[in-house]
Amino acid sequence: MRQSRLGTAMLLLCLLALALLPLFAEKYYIQLFTKMMIMAIFAMSLDLLVGVTGLVSLGHAAFFGLAGYVLAFAAPQYQAANLWLSLPLAMACSGLLALAIGALVLRTSGIYFIMVTLAFAQMVYFVFHDTKIAGGADGIYVYAKPVASIAGWEPFTLENHIHFYFVVLLLLVLVYTALRMLLASLFGRVIVGIRVNEQRMKSLGYRTFRYKLVCFVLAGALAGMAGYFAAAQFGFVSPETLGWHESGSVLMMVILGGMGTLTGAVVGAFAMMLLELGFQGLPEVAGLDIGKHWQLLMGAFIVCAVLLLPHGLLGLTRLASRWRRKPAEAAE
């Protein structure tokens, strides 16, 4: 997808704002934005599947949650895990799980694919929910944040919320850039081609199954990266992080922002989390505590968004600019 000059300028402006945020924001907001950026990485990883390759996965949280559990295992009790070892380990575990699940689910397509990804993610959920390996339904604590020491030298510490913020911001930029480069490469062209017309790609001689599997594993590993930092920040992992509510809400982020654009996934993640926070802060009206029952509003919002915003939030800007330039073109 080609970026307009205006779009690039906007992107850089947003990046600048994010980089300057810790200078004037309170701790609470810094942590909030850290969480939003983590979710943005998660949403981008799903966008690679849903928006780019056309694989609607409803079980993406399995890879997100698994990486959190890997961190919890790597940091037993009060012993902190080493970032440089545990992060690649967590991402590798998520990637391996994605390889195993992907090899099965990619045999199906369309409606089947949606149902089967959901079902396998639920299987992973039950493994952590029903067995005692990691605290069962109660979840497990990550007592200490991972340390980033290389042979005694510590370039930064994740216990410091500002350091944590900049690490996540750096990763967000890295993941975004890497995915952009991937999309511009031949591989990226092939997977976009698979979404548009898989039969055509097959007849051109591409083994589409392999491409889709690589995509699935890559998306799983990136979701693992997000899940790792989410667990490190929150200090707690429960089976709910693998659950389908998580998968559903990240899917909503991707669609709300606008699919297949990566930028849309980031915008969607920020918008969804701010919306959630806004709904939770609502007061009691006529004896009904709306803030407590915010999911009611979220559900209604999702229904309305599907009916009224077919191209997501970014679609709105596109619509506005097209309408401004040439109303006749928009009508066509």
Partner 1 sequence: MDANTFLIQVLNGIQYGLLLFLVASGLTLILGIMGIINLAHGSFYMVGAYLAFSLSQYFGSLWLALIGGVAIAVVIGVALEWLLISRLYHRDHLYQVLLTYGLILMFEELRSVVFGDDVHGVAVPQLLRASIPLTATLSYPVYRLWMSAVCLVLAAGMYLLIQKTRLGMMIRAGAANREMVQSLGININLLYRLVFALGVALAAFAGMIAAPVASVFPGMGNQVLIICFVVVVIGGIGSVKGAMLAAILIGLVDTFGKVLTLEIGGVELLPQLSGMMIYVLMAAVLLVRPEGLFGKRA
Kindly list the residues in this chain that would bind partner 1 in the complex (CB under 8 A).
Answer: 50, 56, 58, 104-105, 107-112, 114-116, 118-120, 122-123, 126-127, 129-131, 244, 248, 251-252, 255, 288, 293, 295-296, 298-303, 305-307, 310
Q: Rounded to the nearest whole angstrom, what is the least distance from the CB of residue 127 to partner 1 in the complex? A: 6
Q: Rounded to the nearest whole angstrom, what is the least distance from the CB of residue 255 to partner 1 in the complex? A: 6
Q: Rounded to the nearest whole angstrom, what is the least distance from the CB of residue 264 to partner 1 in the complex? A: 14
Listed in sequence order, the DSSP H helices in the chain are: 5-24, 27-47, 61-74, 83-105, 111-130, 161-184, 186-196, 198-203, 208-234, 244-257, 263-280, 294-308, 312-325, 327-331
Q: Nearest Cα to 311, choosing from 9, 36, 51? A: 51
By beta-carbon proximity to partner 1, the closer residue of 292 and 322 is 292
Length of the chain: 332
60 neighbors 195 (Cβ within 8 angstroms): no
By beta-carbon proximity to partner 1, the closer residue of 63 and 120 is 120
By beta-carbon proximity to partner 1, the closer residue of 7 and 248 is 248
CA pair distance 67, 155, nearest whole angstrom: 23
Q: Rounded to the nearest whole angstrom, what is the least distance from the CB of residue 248 to partner 1 in the complex? A: 5
291-317: b or e for each residue (b if 16 or more CB lie within 10 Å)?
eeebeebbeebbeeeeeebeebbbbeb
Residue 205 in 3-state DSSP? Answer: coil
By beta-carbon proximity to partner 1, the closer residue of 87 and 255 is 255
Q: Rounded to the nearest whole angstrom, what is the least distance from the CB of residue 212 to partner 1 in the complex? A: 14
By beta-carbon proximity to partner 1, the closer residue of 156 and 276 is 276
Q: Rounded to the nearest whole angstrom, what is the least distance from the CB of residue 287 to partner 1 in the complex? A: 10
By beta-carbon proximity to partner 1, the closer residue of 114 and 179 is 114
265-285: b or e for each residue (b if 16 or more CB lie within 10 Å)?
bbbbbbbbbebbeebeeeeee
CA pair distance 316, 308, nearest whole angstrom: 10
